[in-house]
A = this chain, B = another copy of it.
């Protein structure tokens, strides 16, 4: 059997181009003892994948040239030599941008039939879990806090705002463009939305956060974050989830040295990775599912059709063109 894959064809310099990827057809491996063959339904498109395309040392190994692009994938079990999985089961795992993948059971998580498969990549998957553990474990919001989120209409940001609201916080979301701005207060319940492309961000932040920023959940970095950091409240917590504005830089961009502000405000800036919380995913997913079922957690998905279009969806996502969680539909459930 032949399957299609998107592999890394070249290491991007700056912004990735479609020619940095290649669509290839390869023989699908036969699953060995204890292995499972999965047919992809949807693959995920996320900012961290830009880091894996680079050779710079990071928390995970780079994708090698010619190797399948890494991604979370939700798919259907086709064959299984593991008693825990049966053909037809829907599973999620780090299976990459490809139609078929072979994995061990320990690398897969089952998605219950009641859950729409795309949610296993979004609110009930890596992005929802990122929001949950980043906000609650690193940001530690308490009722009355003002929580500012950058990339607030993105896959993670849309969830963070709603979780902060559930925690009794005032929420201020920053995103780019009129559609996302409308979503911030309309769909995601932010108390205040700021359009960084159109608004005087500094003035808007000042007006929205008269007592300063208690928690800043940062997906973006760069100049936008400089403005927020200058408005920290006493004992503020800055959650560094992503720095998407910086990912295409070949060398670090220069910005003002602001660490002295951490003394003034006795504040903390902390980075995290959702994978470190894997042993606790089972604690978070039922809560997220319950909020979803109760209508307390809303989301948007931005679905691109066809595996061959994953590079384009990815490049657009890095530019902020997606409205909600970016996904690529590879196949219909069989």
Contacts and interface: CB of A to CB of B under 8 A. Distances in A.
Interface string A236-249: 00001111001000
B263 A272 contact: yes
B243 A252 contact: no
A256 B260 CA distance: 15
Contacts of A254: 254-257
Copies in the complex: 2
Interface residues of A, number: 36
A262 B257 contact: no
Given A254-B254, A254-B255, A255-B254, A243 B266 contact: no
B276 A260 contact: no
A273 B246 CA distance: 31
Interface of A: 57-59, 218, 221-222, 225, 240-243, 246, 251-273, 276
A290 B256 CA distance: 43
Instruction: List 3 A-B pairs, minimum CB-CB distance, nearest first.
Output: A262-B271, A252-B256, A263-B271
Given A254-B255, A269-B269, A221 B263 contact: no
A90 to B, nearest CB: 30
B255 A221 contact: no
A34 to B, nearest CB: 31
B260 A266 contact: no
29 contacts: A57-B264, A58-B264, A59-B263, A59-B265, A240-B260, A240-B262, A240-B263, A242-B263, A243-B257, A246-B257, A246-B260, A251-B256, A252-B256, A252-B258, A253-B256, A254-B254, A255-B257, A262-B269, A262-B271, A263-B271, A263-B273, A265-B271, A266-B272, A266-B273, A266-B276, A267-B271, A268-B268, A269-B269, A270-B270
A173 to B, nearest CB: 20
A270 B262 contact: yes
